[in-house]
Each structure stands twice: as structure tokens, then as C-alpha cells.
């Protein structure tokens, strides 16, 4: 009972995730509504990702220097509320882009202190459960937010939806103030690299990790670096697989809402497709949590990649047909890609990453891993706007699928090499 009380604050993040869940979709649709193009929508997502990389470093340092976790989390949620409010008054696509960049900077502030709070307020024996609860609050909150967006846009425009989400974000501020405890014990971010459950939770909330567990000079590392030798290592295959996968994800996810909108679906139907996908994703995460040993196999990793890649290709093909055909087919195909396939891939791949990099220089290796995620996503996000605008969404989605399927080659090479070492 005492442990349940200690972990109750984890759910204070639920309402913030409800408000944040649909925001990237709203921003894309809002840019189109204000006369912008898919290129400007991709600029918004790319700009938000870029600033989040810098923000993760800055807020992480802040967490090490200033151990008042409640204050930092409240700053993040206040930034969320302010973003919702000023988005309501935005008049041009440029203003929307700049506001979204501000939101991305502020939202990143909560990731590190939320994870550190678990380590500081919960006994280590209960970390796995607490981190699972934190991930559930993130996934479930985002799904609920998309559900609210779907139902409310039946009656009100996207602009008024921002006011609804603004009031929800205020609830998250109140709950943070009321539930999150002041910590007596101070822990540093390097623990993310030493505990697998902490690492998985941190990457789930926001895929940026800046930690360093070695005094080895970075300049010396670059001086001794030889690409010809590096490409023979298993870590190279791991990074390449992750890099290719997230290029595909960046290509697809950045412009998918815009593609649905511009092919003829209204905002309500766009939210419906994405909401169904997230419902399936949340249910799959829950199922994996119960059956992780059965799910976390190399064969399921390959299957999830093939399912996600082929689903992207099929979605690209559907965009050659009418809006009605796109709607009904995507209500089936999108949940396969975003729900089942991604949930299995995310769970299995991150465990593989944590176990593959070894003990030496783990912080730096995990830092490079998250860098590969973001560089791949950035390349995909930036290219997606131009490909979709000048050629077509169908080609962009098919290319996304091709990148995901190609990543299987590197994952297989990595895992086959690992099996030979035993």
C-alpha cells in the first residue's frame, strides 16, 4: 500500500499527455487551414525535433544542477498551456511553426525529472513497475487526447479544440503541484544508462539521452576513429538499422495527417484514423507487458519490421485511389503499422540495444543511439514535405516502407553475429 501511495504521482502526467498527444497532428492541420503547404508542416515538425535535441541537453543539465523536480515539471506543463493559448491566436503558418518550436522546447523539460523522480521516491525493487506506469500514462494519455480530438471536432473546429486542450493542461499543472513530492535524495542522469527499465522509460517519453560515463576525451575518440574498422562492428549494424528505420518513420509520420486531409478527409476523420491506430498501440503495449518473454524474440522483430514497412507501402498505394477508399483501407492498415508493428519493434529493439552495447562507454553509446533516432527522423521529416508536395504522398509513403524493410538486413546481420558469439 505504501508503494502504491509513493507511485501515485506518476499519474499526474496523464493529463499533460492527453493535451500533448494530438498536438503535432493539430499543428499540421492548422498550418494547412491557414493556407500553408505540407512543406511548411514538415518545417514545423523538423524544427520541433531540432530544438528538442538542444532542449534535452539543456534541461538535463538543469536537472543535475537544480534538484527541485516539481518546479521543472511544472515549467514544462505551464509551457504546454501557454503554447495552446497562443496557438489559438496564431494567424499565419510561420507563427504556428514558431509556437510549435517553443512548445517542443518546453515539453522536453519534464522527461528527465519524471524518470529521476521514480529513482528518488520509489524503492529499486519497484522501479520496473513504476517505469511501466509512467509509460502507460504517456501512451494512454496520448490515446485519450486523440479520442477527445476526434469527438470534439465533430462539433467544433480545430481552433476551439486548442481551448479544450488548454484547460486539460491546466489540470496537469494543478495535479503536479498537489501530487509530486519534493525529493530528499538526489540522483544523476547517468543512472538511465545503468538500468534497462529506466532507459526504456526515458526513450519512450522523449528519445533524447545525454549522459557520459567515461572520462575518455571525445577529441581522442574522433582522432582514433577509423570507419573501415567501425563498419565491421556489430554496433555499426545496430546504428544503421535504427537510422534507416527512423528515416522511414520520419518520412511517413510527418506528413501522414496532411496527406489524409489533402486527399479529402475532414479533420474529424483524420483524428479517427490516428486515434484507432493509437488505441491498438496502447492495447498492444499492455499485451506485451504481460507476455514480454513470448513477444521479445528476434523473429517477432523481423515480422514487426516487415509488417510496418509493407503497411507503409500499402498506404502509399491506397493514396492512388479516392478519399473514401483511403479512409476505409487506412482504418485497417494504419493500426497494423502504428499499433501492432511499432509496439513490438519498439519493445524488442530497445532491449536489443541495451544488451548489445556492453558496459564500456554505455552512456556515450546510448547517446549515439538516440542521435541516430533523431538524425534519421530529421532527414525523413525534411524530405517528406518536398517529396509529398512535388511528387505525391503515395511515393513518400512507399519510400518510407522501403527504408523500414531495408533496416531488416542490418538487424539480421547484428543478431546473427550475436548468436554466433554464444
CATH of the domain at 337: 1.20.1250.20
Question: pTM for the full model?
Answer: 0.85
**In this structure, is residue 199 part of a structural domain?**
no
Residues 156 and 225 in one domain: no
Q: How far is CA 207 from CA 104, 265, 366, in A?
A: 13, 31, 10
Q: How far apart are CA 92 and CA 416, in angstroms?
A: 52
DSSP 345: H
Q: How far apart are CA 113 and CA 13, in angstroms?
A: 12
**In this structure, is residue 207 part of a structural domain?**
no
Residues 17 and 127 in one domain: yes
Residues 223 and 180 in one domain: no
Give the up-direction half-sphere exposure of residue 405: CA atoms within 13 A in the CB hemisphere: 14
**In this structure, is residue 203 part of a structural domain?**
no
Residues 165 and 305 in one domain: no
Q: How far apart are CA 418 and CA 140, in angstroms?
A: 35
Total number of domains constituting the chain? 2
**In this structure, is residue 87 part of a structural domain?**
yes
**In this structure, is residue 360 part of a structural domain?**
yes
DSSP 110: G
Q: Are 106 and 72 in contact (CB under 8 A)?
A: no
Residues 160 and 269 in one domain: no
Q: Are 91 and 34 in contact (CB under 8 A)?
A: yes
Q: What are phi and psi of 357, to 5 degrees?
A: -80, -15
Residues 177 and 234 in one domain: no
Q: What is the largest CA-CA distance in the chain?
A: 62
Instruction: Say which residue the cell 483524428 belongs to.
Output: 271
Residues 182 and 223 in one domain: no
Residues 28 and 154 in one domain: yes
**In this structure, is residue 231 part of a structural domain?**
yes
Residues 245 and 365 in one domain: yes
Residues 17 and 145 in one domain: yes
**In this structure, is residue 318 part of a structural domain?**
yes
Task: Give the contacts of 318 (CB within 8 A, at least 6 positions apart).
Answer: 325, 326, 329, 330, 333
E strands, 195-306, are none
Domain residues for the domain of 178 are 1-188
Residues 171 and 222 in one domain: no
Whole-number CA gyration radius for the chain: 21
**In this structure, is residue 205 part of a structural domain?**
no
Residues 237 and 308 in one domain: yes
Number of residues that this document lists for the chain: 422
**342-356 and 362-390 helices, crossing angle to 10°:** 150
Q: How far apart are CA 268 and CA 273, in angstroms?
A: 9
Residue pLDDT tens, the chain, 422 long: 445 555 677 777 889 999 999 999 999 999 999 999 999 999 999 999 889 888 877 887 787 777 778 888 999 999 999 999 999 999 999 999 999 999 999 988 887 788 777 777 777 676 667 777 777 788 889 999 999 999 999 999 999 999 999 999 999 999 988 888 776 555 554 554 444 544 554 444 455 444 444 444 444 544 454 545 556 566 778 788 888 999 999 999 999 999 999 999 999 999 999 999 999 988 888 887 677 665 657 788 899 999 999 999 999 999 999 999 999 999 999 999 998 998 888 877 777 776 666 555 555 566 566 777 888 889 999 999 999 999 999 999 999 999 999 999 988 887 765 555 54
Amino acid at each position: 500500500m505504501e508503494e502504491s501511495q509513493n507511485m501515485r504521482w506518476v499519474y499526474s502526467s496523464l493529463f499533460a499527455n492527453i493535451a500533448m498527444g494530438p498536438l503535432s497532428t493539430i499543428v499540421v492541420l492548422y498550418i494547412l487551414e491557414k493556407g500553408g503547404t505540407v512543406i511548411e508542416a514538415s518545417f514545423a515538425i523538423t524544427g520541433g525535433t531540432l530544438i528538442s535535441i538542444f532542449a534535452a541537453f539543456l534541461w538535463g543539465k538543469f536537472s543535475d544542477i537544480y534538484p527541485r523536480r516539481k518546479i521543472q515539471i511544472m515549467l514544462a506543463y505551464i509551457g504546454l498551456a501557454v503554447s495552446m493559448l497562443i496557438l489559438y491566436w496564431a494567424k499565419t503558418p510561420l507563427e504556428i511553426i514558431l509556437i510549435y518550436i517553443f512548445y517542443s522546447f518546453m515539453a522536453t523539460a519534464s522527461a528527465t525529472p519524471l524518470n529521476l523522480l521514480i529513482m528518488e521516491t520509489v524503492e529499486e525493487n519497484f522501479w520496473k513497475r513504476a517505469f511501466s506506469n509512467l509509460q502507460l500514462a504517456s501512451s494512454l494519455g496520448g490515446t485519450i487526447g486523440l479520442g477527445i480530438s476526434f469527438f470534439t471536432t465533430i462539433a467544433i473546429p480545430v481552433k476551439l479544440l486548442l481551448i479544450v486542450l488548454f484547460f486539460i493542461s491546466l489540470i496537469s499543472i494543478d495535479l503536479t503541484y498537489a501530487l509530486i513530492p519534493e525529493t530528499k535524495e538526489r540522483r544523476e542522469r547517468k543512472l538511465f544508462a545503468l538500468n534497462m527499465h529506466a532507459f526504456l522509460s526515458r526513450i519512450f517519453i522523449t528519445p533524447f539521452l545525454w549522459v557520459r560515463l567515461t572520462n575518455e576525451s571525445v577529441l581522442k575518440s574522433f582522432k582514433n576513429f577509423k570507419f573501415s574498422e567501425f563498419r565491421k562492428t556489430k554496433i555499426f549494424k545496430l546504428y544503421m538499422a535504427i537510422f534507416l528505420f527512423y528515416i522511414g518513420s520520419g518520412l511517413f509520420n510527418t506528413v501522414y495527417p496532411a496527406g489524409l486531409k489533402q486527399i479529402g478527409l475532414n479533420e474529424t476523420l483524420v483524428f479517427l484514423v490516428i486515434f484507432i491506430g493509437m488505441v491498438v498501440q496502447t492495447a498492444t503495449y499492455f499485451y506485451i507487458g504481460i507476455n514480454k518473454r513470448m513477444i521479445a524474440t528476434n523473429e517477432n522483430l523481423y515480422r514487426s519490421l516487415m509488417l510496418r514497412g509493407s503497411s507503409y507501402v500499402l498506404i502509399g498505394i491506397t493514396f492512388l485511389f479516392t478519399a473514401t477508399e483511403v479512409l476505409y483501407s487506412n482504418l485497417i492498415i494504419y493500426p497494423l503499422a502504428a499499433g501492432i508493428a511499432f509496439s513490438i519493434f519498439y519493445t524488442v529493439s530497445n532491449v536489443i540495444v541495451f544488451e548489445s552495447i556492453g558496459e564500456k562507454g554505455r552512456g556515450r553509446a546510448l547517446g549515439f543511439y538516440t542521435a541516430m533516432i533523431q538524425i534519421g527522423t530529421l532527414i525523413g521529416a525534411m524530405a517528406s514535405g518536398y517529396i509529398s508536395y512535388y511528387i505525391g504522398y503515395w511515393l513518400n509513403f512507399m519510400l518510407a516502407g522501403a527504408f523500414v524493410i531495408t533496416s531488416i538486413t542490418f538487424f539480421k546481420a547484428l543478431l546473427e553475429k550475436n548468436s554466433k558469439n554464444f
